[in-house]
Amino acid sequence: MLKKVSTEKSTNLAKKGHYTFWVEKSTNKGRIKSEVAAAFKVDVVSVKTLNSGGAKKAIVTLKEGQKIDLFEEKKEKKKKKK
């Protein structure tokens, strides 16, 4: 299961092609890579994981030029409201 991390730092990383997700603690890097690739139809270059206060985060790097629109939705919704 993937859940987007919404922080200022993760938003800045997303601009550089690095996307941060909360994942189940037992999930390995290979599974994270395949789930992100399948869910968002992107090419994953690398996956880094870290344990954070009993939870696990995964930072996924995409092939250059690719992006995940899920992280862009919030920004576009704000533009439409103005």
Question: What is the count of structural domains for the chain?
Answer: 1
pLDDT of residue 82: 54
Domain range for residue 59? 2-81
How does pLDDT run across 5-62, given as a tens digit for each residue?
A: 989 999 999 999 999 999 999 999 999 999 999 999 999 999 999 998 889 999 999 9
User: How would you class 33 by CB atoms within 10 Å of its CB: exposed for 0-12, middle for 13-18, buried for 19 or more?
Assistant: middle
Write down the pLDDT at residue 53.
84
**Residue 36 exposure: Cα atoms within 13 Å on the Cβ side:** 33
50: domain CATH number?
Answer: 3.30.70.330
Judge whether 67 and 43 are in contact, CB under 8 Å. Answer: no
